[in-house]
Amino acid sequence: MKDPNPSTFDTAVIGAGLAGLVAANRLADAGRSVIVVDGLGASGGRSRTSLLADHLVNQGPHALYVGGHADRALQRLGIPVEGGAPPTRGTRGLYDDRLHLLPAGPVSLLRTSLLSPVEKITVGALLARLPRLDPVPLDDVTVDDWIDSVTRREAVRNLLAALFRLATYVNCPELLSAGAALRQLSMAVDDGVLYLHGGWQTLVDGLTTRAEAAGVVFRYDGSVTGVLGESPRLAIRTATEDLSARTTIVAAGGPETAERLTGATGLVEAAGPPTRVAVLDLALDHQPDHRFVLGIDHPVYFSVHGPPARLAPDGQATASAVRYLHPRADGPADENRSALEDIAAASGVQASSLLADRYLHAMTVAHGIPLAERGGLAGRPGIDAADRPGVLIAGDWVGPEGMLADAAAASAWAAADVLLGTP
Q: What is the pLDDT of residues 216-232, one digit of tens each?
A: 999 998 789 999 999 99
User: For each successive 10 residues of the chain (423 residues), what is the average pLDDT?
Assistant: 73 97 98 94 92 95 95 97 87 89 56 74 79 91 96 89 95 97 91 95 98 96 92 93 96 96 97 96 96 94 96 96 91 90 96 96 95 98 97 98 98 98 77
**What pLDDT, on a 0 to 100 scale, did the predictor assign at position 227?**
97
pTM: 0.93
**What pLDDT, on a 0 to 100 scale, did the predictor assign at position 258?**
97
**What pLDDT, on a 0 to 100 scale, did the predictor assign at position 3?**
61
Domains annotated on the chain, with CATH: 8-48+201-271+380-420 (3.50.50.60), 102-193 (1.10.405)
**What pLDDT, on a 0 to 100 scale, did the predictor assign at position 178?**
97
Round the average pLDDT of the chain to a whole number and report it. 92
205: Cβ contacts below 8 Å, ≥ 6 apart: none
**What pLDDT, on a 0 to 100 scale, did the predictor assign at position 111?**
55
